Structure 1
């Protein structure tokens, strides 16, 4: 049983979701894994490395800012990485079918983040 049952419930309702994982970027510990046809937990290390490198880039560029989220679009999917501000080094990674409007998906991601407060 997960420590975030409401979060799992909300993630499971994201329209077009193929899979999602909430994880610690440094330890790679998985806090939540929602498999709706695609186990994205296998991508945790690569996604965590990407988050860390992006944070380092922001610092190296002297932007004095915080990298909050990244969206990668492919022909058929959105790959969304969003850092959870209420936890140190914790992020959510989702893969969603691209036929869903991105603003709608991002609104649902915000609902997930709010559910973890």
Structure 2
């Protein structure tokens, strides 16, 4: 079982990410459009993986991820963004993909970051 938190303020992009991940093994999803919504969603159902845009309608994806990691501990992250220069992927469990993103890139990142049972 793999629960994913998708932090994305464009609904069609979020649905596309959900579709790609569900085809390769993710089993449940939470969605957030703002930094605060992301932190709340992570507490309500702790994710095994986070995907996040950088610039959100309110707040920033990297700030949401940082808060979630501080409060719930580390978990893998895939940033899917048009602003890759605003990410700091120092953590080996973080990948940055540039929009528009291909399903092959998402699949490769997912399989690299999420252990398969």
The TM-score with structure 1 as length reference comes to: 0.35
Q: Which has the higher contact order (CA 8 A, sep 6+)?
A: 1
More helix by share: 2
**TM-score scaled by structure 2?**
0.35
Q: Which structure's residues are more often strand, by fraction?
A: 1
Q: From the CA coordinates, give the structure whose radius of gyration is larger.
A: 1
